[in-house]
Amino acid sequence: METLTDEILTQTIRVRPQESHKGTYGRVCLIGGNDHFGGAILMATEASVYSGAGLNTTLTDPSNFVSLHSRMPEAMVADFTHQDELTELVSAANTVVVGPGLGTTPQSLSVLQAVFGTVTPKQTLIVDGSAITLLSEKNVKLPQAKLVFTPHQMEWQRLSGIKIADQTDEANEVVRQQLGGIVVLKSHQTKIYTPAGGFLNKAGTPAQATGGMGDTLAGMIGGFTAQFANQTNAVLAAVYAHSAIADELAENQYVVLPTQIIHQLPRYMHEHQS
């Protein structure tokens, strides 16, 4: 297991070329937020926008449109139950994030199936939160795509069948290979299993132990994978930056809120580009 350092940032976050436009920096589609957990998709969206993704569209329950725009006019919105729109918007994205606050109702499952039925191998698909739970419990077929899973340990137990106490690197890697793609296994020291090997994230602070941190990370991975060509590095850099920014804030804060991390992204990424 290789320990991540801020080298992953400079390897990944590139000085932007002068001749570029918003299309150059990718199109992210974020799907989640039912009528109870709307805040989750708001934070994921904000994280993607502040990461620098070129265009961001949020597919969510319509009850979340106003709060999303109140916080973040930079994002576009659509109703995640409108299958035609979902198909069109998901198809147009480079990166798709599904799961934050999606819930586990039949409606949630229906949305997830619509997303899985639309993405293609060229697209990066981040499977987070409720989407992992649904995947574990329901008969949902994973699509061919550049997959990134972001479970915490209990979600990983459900998805992999490996109990938390038995989640060794070897066991985890076996299931990762079965699933394909990258697994970000979140704990107080997050591990990232990738085709290029395993990575350990020693950054991070217990000040981060509050609701919404995972949603924020999912959105950041969305924003990073949309912009940076090397998808593995993009995931690693997002994981590291998320924790490292929290470490900075925790020098002066007892608790670090997800939205506070988000607001530091433009400055932090500026300082670590190359």
- Residues lying near a copy of itself in the complex (CB under 8 A): 13, 16-22, 24-25, 35-40, 42-43, 46, 49-56, 63-67, 69-78, 152, 187-188, 205-207, 209-213, 250, 252-259, 265-270, 273
Is 210 annotated as contributing to ligand binding?
A: no
Minimum CB–partner distance for residue 256 and a copy of itself (Å): 7
Q: Which two tokens stand for residue 31?
A: 């799907």
Residues 6+ apart with CB under 8 A from 87: 114, 118
Minimum CB–partner distance for residue 77 and a copy of itself (Å): 6
Is 40 annotated as contributing to ligand binding?
A: yes
**Closer residue to a copy of itself (CB): 194 or 201:** 201
Is 189 annotated as contributing to ligand binding?
A: yes
Which residue has tokens 């191998």? 121
**Do 258 and 43 touch, CB atoms closer than 8 A?**
yes
**Closer residue to a copy of itself (CB): 81 or 259:** 259
**Closer residue to a copy of itself (CB): 4 or 145:** 4
Minimum CB–partner distance for residue 48 and a copy of itself (Å): 11
β-pair partners for 147: 125
Minimum CB–partner distance for residue 85 and a copy of itself (Å): 8
**Do 54 and 27 touch, CB atoms closer than 8 A?**
yes
Is 229 annotated as contributing to ligand binding?
A: no
**Closer residue to a copy of itself (CB): 65 or 142:** 65
Distance in angstroms (rounded) separating the CA atoms of residues 56 and 159: 28
Minimum CB–partner distance for residue 144 and a copy of itself (Å): 28
Tell me the three state secondary structure of residue 235: helix
Is 99 annotated as contributing to ligand binding?
A: no
Is 101 annotated as contributing to ligand binding?
A: yes
Distance in angstroms (rounded) separating the CA atoms of residues 240 and 203: 7
**Closer residue to a copy of itself (CB): 42 or 218:** 42
Q: Which two tokens stand for residue 192?
A: 């990232």
Distance in angstroms (rounded) separating the CA atoms of residues 228 and 89: 21
Q: Report residue 15: phi and psi, to 5°.
A: -55, 130
Is 242 annotated as contributing to ligand binding?
A: no
Q: Report residue 53: phi and psi, to 5°.
A: -60, 145
- Summarize the annotated binding site for (6S)-NADPHX as residue ranges: 40, 101, 152, 215
- Summarize the annotated binding site for AMP as residue ranges: 186-190, 214
